[in-house]
Structure 1
Amino acid sequence: MTTTVDDSLFTETADGIALLGSECTDCGAYTFPRQGGCPRCTGSAMQDVPLSRRGILWSWTIQGFRPKPPYTGADDTYGVGYVELPGQLIVESRLTETDPAKLRIGMPVRLTLVPFRQDENGQPVHTFAFEAVNND
Structure 2
Amino acid sequence: MSQVVAEGVFVEGAGGPRMIAGRRKADGEIRFPMPSGADAALYDAIEVTGEGRLWSYTMQRFRPKTPPYIGDDDEKSFKPFALGYVEFPGQVIIEGRILVDDIADLKIGQPMRVAIEKFPTSSRGELSTYAFEPAT
Where on the TM-score scale, by shorter chain, does this alignment land: which range?
0.7 to 0.9
Task: Work out whether residues 25 and 45 of structure 1, in 8 Å CA contact, stay in contact via their aligned partners in 2.
Answer: yes
User: What SS does structure 2 have at the residue aligned with 1:17?
Assistant: strand
Instruction: Tell me the equivalent position of 1:102.
Output: 105
Instruction: Tell me the equivalent position of 2:134.
Output: 132
List per-residue Cα deviations over 1:18-74 (Å, max 9, x = no partner).
Answer: 111100133111011111549xxxxx6310111121110000001111211221224
Task: Work out whether residues 119 and 125 of structure 1, in 8 Å CA contact, stay in contact via their aligned partners in 2.
Answer: no
Instruction: Tell me the equivalent position of 1:20.
Output: 20
- In the aligned structure 2, how far is the partner of 1:79 from the partner of 1:28? 31
Q: Which runs of 5+ in 1 are unaligned?
A: 39-43
User: What SS does structure 1 have at the residue aligned with 2:119?
Assistant: strand
- In the aligned structure 1, how far is the partner of 2:70 from the partner of 2:50? 25
- In the aligned structure 1, how far is the partner of 2:30 from the partner of 2:109? 21
Q: Which runs of 5+ in 2 are unaligned?
A: none
Q: What does 1:1-136 correspond to in 2, within 5 Å?
A: 2-35=2-35, 37=39, 45-68=42-65, 69-73=67-71, 74=73, 75-118=78-121, 124-134=126-136
- 1:9 is matched by which residue type in structure 2? V
| RMSD, aligned CA | 2.3
- In the aligned structure 2, how far is the partner of 1:23 from the partner of 1:14? 23
**Deviating 4+ runs (over 6 angstroms):** none
Corresponding pairs, count: 128
Higher alpha-carbon deviation: 3-12 or 46-55 = 3-12
List per-residue Cα deviations over 1:91-134 (Å, max 9, x = no partner).
Answer: 1111001522101100100000112114769x631211100011
User: What SS does structure 2 have at the residue aligned with 1:101?
Assistant: helix
Task: Work out whether residues 62 and 98 of structure 1, in 8 Å CA contact, stay in contact via their aligned partners in 2.
Answer: no
Task: Work out whether residues 5 and 128 of structure 2, in 8 Å CA contact, stay in contact via their aligned partners in 1.
Answer: yes
Higher alpha-carbon deviation: 8-17 or 19-28 = 8-17
Give the TM-score normalised by structure 2.
0.81
